Chain A
Amino acid sequence: MPLEREVYKELESVVGPEHITEEPATLFSYAYQWMAELVPDVSGGGKFFDRPEAVLVPGGVEEVQAIVRLCNRYGLKFHVYSTGWGPWAAPPSGGQILLDLRRMNRILEIDEQNMFAVVEPYVVAAQLQAEAMKRGLNVHISGAGAGTSVLANACCFQGGGPDCIYFDSPQNSILSIEWVMPTGDILRTGSLGSGLGWFCAEGPGPSTQGIIRGALGGSGGWGVVTKIAIRLVHWPGPPVMPIEGTVPAYRTKLPADQFRATFPAFPSWQSFADAIYHIYDSEIGYIAHRQYVMWGDELQAAFLKIVSDPDRQLCDLEELLHMPEIQKLTDEMRRCFQLILVGMTPRDLEYQLKVLDRILEQTGGWNVALVNEPAMQQYVLLYMMRLCFKNLNFTATGGFIDTYNSVASPDIWASGEIEAGKKLLKKYAGRIADAGDQAMGPIAGQGGGGVTGWEDFLFYDPHDPDSVQAAIEVSDEGDRLKAQQGRPPGGMLLGLARTTHTEEKVRAQKLVHAREYQWQRKLKQIFDPNGIGSGNYLWAAEPSTNGEST
């Protein structure tokens, strides 16, 4: 249903005619949804969700507020979009307008002394990191990488990543917030709420950090966060990362006495888990992530050889897999993760390296020698520091889904869950990529450690209906297995969930049993009395039949 002309005119008067459109081609460019084929009952098996009725590109908080107020007046739902990557980008149902925040793209302030930055929604991590580094600072980058919104990662969805061990989780890095609530009121939280600047999340103004963020963020249903202050950490490296190498195998040469990439590897999952505890205890590490296993433990060594070499391509995979040295490397890397040690001084790095040696000694582990080759060292440092190659996660087919994921204490690595995940994927091998253990995830999900986990990646071909079907089946099976253990379902597919999807209803109902979602749903009803803030599973879930939640 196109918008009433009167409504369109009013919206147009807010943003100006050049920043609103109903052009069908543009509307479809926003309806395109990565992985949409995984919910065929809403996408018809294709790539499109419902198209928005209009797209607006507001230029600032006043315009956002005016739009939200108009939406309240006319009962019009709105969906919010920053960089548009992720399973919640397209509007979850028809009849909505879409706010693309790409014009709100400024870094408003970098406060060196107090170590924070104030950003608008369309500042991506690479930009803020580059500017922070000039001032000896660095910023957390979500696992989704350098091309994603700093603000959206902190406030609106998971947002965790490889560097949480040192940088802390993004939700803990949010300071003050400027938030256009679903009613159109503007709330300024933390110290900003008292007119004291951006430096503090909790008072003297109101704190809504828990509300706005919850467990996984509102993914577009919580109004519009228009500015946040985000905490920064120390960066002892050069003001500009020096980049060398031929596209796409870029590398960075950082001072060797302060920066070291390592691949700690272990003979058993128990020793892997033990080492994580030791790392937590000894407080070493700047970035710690089980990264390259996303290509599968069978393929990660060969893949790494390919992507770090400008002359290689995926067609070299089989040849590499048959090479004895790659086979050896594959075995060496099977239970490894990527640990980046950064010394604030050379002595600091020296100390951390000694601690790592000691941990490896105690756990019977080793540092995979490959990472000590100069070019590989430089490649891995760049990869992990900037997360500039994160779309390599999807290089095999373009389609992925996480299935048998886990978030828990380090013991989880030794609980047999990795093997269970591997077994699950193996069952569908052929219809999905046959790659082995694909449990990629952070060694520490919060500052200093305490929680770790993984996403079980699987690759399917979005162009191949049978492969798509296999991805749906394996994901459902993974969720069923987890449900038997009382664990919530996988995160990514949930992003796609809509009430019209029967299976998703079931998933969502499982989720609303979790206390935090119950509370968030209740709060949403208070904060969004007209129900105009769009959202996905979180908000769309029906109350369960036993009346546990509403």
Chain B
Amino acid sequence: MGLEDFKAMVHRCSRCSYCKWIPFAHVKSWRFAKGCPSIEYHSFQSYSASGRLCISLALLEERISCFDEGLPDIVFKCMLDGCCDVACKVCRYDLEPLEVMRNLRFRLIDNGCFPIQDIPLIDNLRKEDNMMMARKADRANWAAGLSLKDLTTEKADVVLHVGCRLSFDEELWRIPQTAVTLLLDAGVDVGILGRDENCCGGRLYDMGYRGEFLKYAENNIDAWRNAGATTVVTTCSDCYHAFKRLYPEELHAPMNVLHITEFLEQLIAKGKIAFKKSLPLKITYHDPCHLGRRGEPYIPWEGRQKKIRGQILVYEPRKPRNNGACGVYDAPRNVLRSIPGIQLFEMERNREFAWCCGAGAGVRERYPEFSFWTAGERIEEAYATGAEALVSACPHCERNFLDALDQRGDSLKVFDVLDLVREAR
């Protein structure tokens, strides 16, 4: 599929603007009715899903060019968080706005029309296999002192993939370290690839670098196979999305992929993790886009669109809708609810229509100001619940919240689900 394959879809967009809001059913206030950070921050219609559909058509019809100077800004100032996709599909069964926007990115990248600030990031990635401008040699430093299997030489059932952010963000090392402790204590046969762990490629894919993504996906799949692993567990929602959705979609490589919160939910249910302490804390949970609405399992589909009753468009056979219905929302909440003392308050925008943290799809790296503004909006929403802490299950969200709070001179606590599990044991 390329951008040209989406022409019919753009012709059929009814330009309703649902993509700019959370599903209207769920609007509870003026303040938190908005769903799309991109248009809220940039104002012009082009910075919305429907605007980018229009742009795709204008590009295909050669009314504009990839090389127009202002185009990358419009195309890439967007987290691809997918709230637009969910809201669109409340009423439409035949449109895939997120897919169109991704393909628009691929088109620009093919032509070298990327933001120039990508260059150091991508150059370093090519050399060091990470998205953090860090050295490959330092990738396993977080695991120093942990007696973990090295899956470059040993074999294990479960491979723990911690991802670039957690490998190099020292302040967050406690998250993978806790994951290891919990897994080992529960008797799980787990190991890591250590220094040879590669970037998952998921963020690259969203940034438009699908060609580079494929290389990392192939390498990772090979490494897991060589390690004899049957299950990949990850502490990062970005990686989860890459493994759960993109790998099978792009490489037809099904793996048993679990986010750490899904694994913990299972362990808690089996009684393998017990809590000894009470944590009297009012919290609110932020759904990471890549674990929530975009973390739906990939279901292969091959078929066609046909018309019935004259012109009504249907897919034959039934096509997976990917409308956020099957994302991972309950596992992290169930883990949190099982911790004694915790009081969980929901933000107005939650689950499939959660507001994005601002970090995704290269926005944090390319446009930090927009990224932090988006995080700030979420922080306001968290405050509105009366919670003392904002809890998430993705290090990218957590880092962005921490930095945005720092910039605001704010002191809301930010935790990973694992932090609270560790504290309560």
Contact = CB atoms under 8 A, between A and B. Distances in A.
Contact of B12 (A100, A248, A310, A398): A398
A146 B54 CA distance: 23
A396 B313 contact: yes
Interface in B1-60: 7-8, 10-18, 21, 23-30, 33, 39, 43-46, 50-52, 54-55, 57-58
A532 B363 CA distance: 40
A57 B30 contact: no
B315 interface: yes
Contact of B51 (A29, A103, A382): A29
A433 B21 contact: no
B46 A313 contact: no
B215 interface: no
A47 B68 contact: no
B91 A391 contact: yes
Interface stretch (B185-193, B241-249, B273-281, B302-310): B302-310
Given A25-B71, A126-B24, A247-B325, A396 B18 contact: no
Contact of B89 (A100, A241, A248, A315): A248
A145 B91 CA distance: 12
Contacts of B52: 29
B92 A29 contact: no
Contacts of A386: 24-25, 27
A389 B324 CA distance: 17
A430 B312 CA distance: 10
B21 A147 contact: yes
A124 to B, nearest CB: 7
A389 B309 contact: no
Interface string B305-339: 00111111111111101011100000000000000
A313 B93 contact: yes
Contact of A463 (B8, B44, B61, B312): B8
Nearest to A57: B43
B405 to A, nearest CB: 25
Contact of B57 (A47, A317, A431, A432): A47
Interface string B143-173: 0000000000000000000000000000000
A32 B264 CA distance: 48
A431 B311 contact: yes
A388 B51 CA distance: 21
B122 interface: no
B55 A29 contact: yes
B74 interface: yes
B54 A47 contact: yes
Nearest to A391: B91
A107 to B, nearest CB: 5
A256 interface: no
Contacts of B310: 429-435, 459
Contacts of B70: 21, 23-26
Contact of B318 (A123, A147, A315): A315
A127 B33 contact: yes
B94 interface: yes
A315 B321 CA distance: 12
A48 B24 contact: no
A102 interface: yes
A392 B91 CA distance: 5
A397 interface: yes
Interface in A23-56: 23-26, 28-34, 37, 46-48, 55
Nearest to B52: A29
Nearest to A310: B325
Given A48-B58, A247-B86, A398-B12, 15 more contacts: A24-B63, A25-B46, A26-B74, A29-B54, A34-B14, A85-B17, A89-B15, A241-B25, A250-B25, A317-B312, A386-B27, A388-B23, A388-B25, A398-B14, A462-B11
11 contacts: A24-B68, A25-B68, A32-B54, A34-B14, A83-B17, A84-B17, A89-B15, A103-B43, A127-B27, A243-B25, A315-B318
